[in-house]
Chain A
Amino acid sequence: MTTAPSNDQPLLSIRDLKVHFDLSYDAILDRVLRGGVKKRVVKAVDGVSLDIFSGETVGLVGESGCGKSTLGRAILRLTEPTSGQVIFRNLDLAHLSAGDLRQQRRNLQIIFQDPYASLNPRMTIGQIVGEPLETFRLARGAAAEQRVKELLETVGLSQRYIKRYPHEFSGGQRQRIGIARALAVDPDFIVADEPISALDVSIQAQILNLLERLQVQKRLTYLFISHDLRAIRHVSDRTAVMYLGKLVELADSKTLYDEPLMPYTKALISAVPVPDPKIEATRQRITLEGDVPSPINPPSGCRFHTRCPFAIEACREVEPQLLEIKPAHYAACIRISPSEPHIEDVAPGAAPGLELNQKAESQKL
């Protein structure tokens, strides 16, 4: 659905991916407490399409519960997708057999958020980083040890640490170990799921710089998941904004930050505190009312309509599609269109994007 910054084939192509979690396991409870079984499904990811090109970093930003981590995990099938495709080099990862998938996982790796929970406390650093080598039979014995030492050096840790345990390391160092483990199998694509959120401010910069250096050295492609817009803006070439299971805006990171189209993106950007008292004293904040609605029964139509200052009646009914509003700048809102891209200038009550949206919807079916 999304076009490329260049004309190459995407490295990874996500097509209409859905991840639904069925909560009917507490059917008995429902019967007792609520007098009947209700079908309750969390639509964590609900029809996301996204192309990721070789060598780029795509930032994925959203608030907690929007499904960004589930999307990252579903790409690697750490969480099974409900439907849709994840096409990596002409293979649909979402439908591969377990054995074939395992072979492909060599090319796709993940870095987790919590450097405390994602390393086995009973394994030494050497074992943790060396395990993927063993699993994929890439190296053993002295050769494996040599490779582990190289990996530690690559991520800025001393080779001497090879026999130590995770508890002997700080959060930043642990995150480096997690990165070394992901790099062990020489992957092409890495999902970085909130890699800096658990770290101190001075350490965050170190990890961001390390990830950027590795990208150049090893020609890596990243999906960088974060709630931190400042970090996303810094590391990503393109940024996708997610809200309640859907992508709502996608553009080049600078464009998205400087000229966002969606009211949600604008609010998100305006909510980020800027470390400059002069700017903070003068700028006008768009404060959103209310909380993110529950993904169990998400609002109908546009899921943002309950909090959107520009919502009209039609927003409750029509589900907006992610459409190209400006060149390579996609947004999902019926109140804007390529001829009227700025929602503030659209006549009250008008929905210039409605027609285009209907056309896109019929094409999809």
Chain B
Amino acid sequence: MSSSNGHLLEVNNLRTYFETEDGVVKAVDGISFLLKRGETLGIVGESGSGKSVTNLSIIRLIPDPPGRIVSGEVIFDGQDILLLPPDEVRKIRGCRIAMIFQDPMTSLNPFLKISKQLMEVTQLHLGHSKGQAYEHAIDMLETVGIPDARARVDNYPHEFSGGMRQRVMIAMALSCKPELLIADEPTTALDVTIQAQILELIKKLKEETRTSVILITHDLGVVAGMTDHVIVMYAGKIFEQAKTTELFARPGNPYTKGLLRSVPDPTSEQGKLYQIPGSPPDVAHLPPGCPFAPRCERAEDICRREFPPFVELTRDHHSLCHFANEVFAASGGTPENVRV
């Protein structure tokens, strides 16, 4: 199963739980996926779906306590990150696996010059001398399109706009030429015109460096334009997993279908917008059976009673639903393997 057959990252049955006053929250509950080199994977979900916790688990940044990676494997280039000693993980994190977070305002240190923050990365991981690191920092700022990089490198974070700060974050993340870039809602805090710039930049840099990317977002539009594969998460589970084009054309899960239909389509005149009833679930108190059943228009008795199977619709397309084949067929798909 494991080892590197073209896969950079292999996550198997990952479970991350949090101890809270309300009881155990199963934030991530049995997630498995593969990521090839040079590929972009989108993870979509609403708040509390576990999409961020999944990625914090991959780089072992789960605060323990209250969080705990209960089980699973995170095999990165043949090594299980979850079994490595902390200082080995530290060598990978920020170097071979880099991260960009949502809020560029809070992820840079306001007291340190940009140069200092950029140099730190390469001095630590690549053993650069001060001079080398400084030049490298300027190179990186140029790569991410910061005008007049030599003059700006000694500025403080507050002297940059939100979009520019996110560029600095990207420069920092790409400093050591990572093999995997995890971008957690990288454009959510930005305006649309700036978002377009940043997404273009990530796309361009990805193509140049063949870096694999995991892009976490709640915006289906961003996923459509940026990713090769998509995972839809709900209540800590993967609800659907498919090639991006396939997922949008032939969704095989009622939740995905509902999400796609509830986004206003600006190109068409539509009356009432489709709405998924109810709210995202309280993960500490999940109902028995399918966690989406209380909001699902297709739910039947079995959905409220039994946890749904993860159905293989085609080789690359899976859906967590008792009626996955029917939903898939209704979207125009032909299930290859009918085995519920």
Chain B associates with chain A: yes
- A residues with CB within 8 A of B: 63-64, 170, 172-173, 200-206, 208-209, 212, 227, 229-231, 233-234, 254, 257, 267-281, 285, 287-288, 291-292
Size category of the B interface is 35 or more
Proximity string of chain B (216-238) to chain A, C-beta cutoff 8 Å, 1 when within and 0 when not: 00111111110000000000000
Chain A residue nearest in CB terms to B227: A277
Most buried by B among A173, A267, A277: A277
Chain B residue nearest in CB terms to A169: B279
Interchain Cβ contacts under 8 Å between A and B, 16 examples: A63-B194, A170-B279, A172-B279, A202-B295, A203-B279, A205-B264, A206-B275, A230-B263, A230-B264, A233-B264, A234-B266, A268-B193, A272-B192, A273-B195, A276-B248, A285-B196
A254 to B264, CA, bound (A): 13
Min CB–CB distance B319 → chain A (angstroms): 18
Q: In residues 183-206 of chain B, which contact A (Cβ within 8 Å)? A: 191-197, 199-200
Find chain A residues with CB under 8 A from B219 CB.
Answer: 201, 273
Check A273–B244 contact: CB distance below 8 A: no
Find chain B residues with CB under 8 A from A272 CB.
Answer: 192, 221, 266
Chain A residue nearest in CB terms to B266: A233
A64 to B195, CA, bound (A): 12
Find chain A residues with CB under 8 A from B244 CB.
Answer: 277
Beyond A200-B280, A206-B275, 12 additional contacts (C-beta under 8 Å) are A202-B275, A205-B275, A209-B273, A209-B275, A229-B192, A269-B266, A271-B193, A275-B248, A276-B248, A280-B225, A287-B200, A291-B164
Check B259–A202 contact: CB distance below 8 A: yes
Min CB–CB distance B296 → chain A (angstroms): 12
**Does B339 make an interface contact (CB < 8 A)?**
no
Given A233-B264, A275-B220, A276-B224, A202 contacting B195 (CB threshold 8 A): no
**Does B245 make an interface contact (CB < 8 A)?**
yes
Check A257–B260 contact: CB distance below 8 A: no
Find chain A residues with CB under 8 A from B129 CB.
Answer: none
Find chain A residues with CB under 8 A from B194 CB.
Answer: 63, 291
Find chain A residues with CB under 8 A from B260 CB.
Answer: 275
Given A203-B279, A285-B200, A229 contacting B266 (CB threshold 8 A): yes
Check B193–A254 contact: CB distance below 8 A: no
Find chain B residues with CB under 8 A from A254 CB.
Answer: 269
Min CB–CB distance B289 → chain A (angstroms): 19
**Does B276 make an interface contact (CB < 8 A)?**
yes
Check B266–A230 contact: CB distance below 8 A: yes
Given A209-B273, A273-B219, A287 contacting B264 (CB threshold 8 A): no
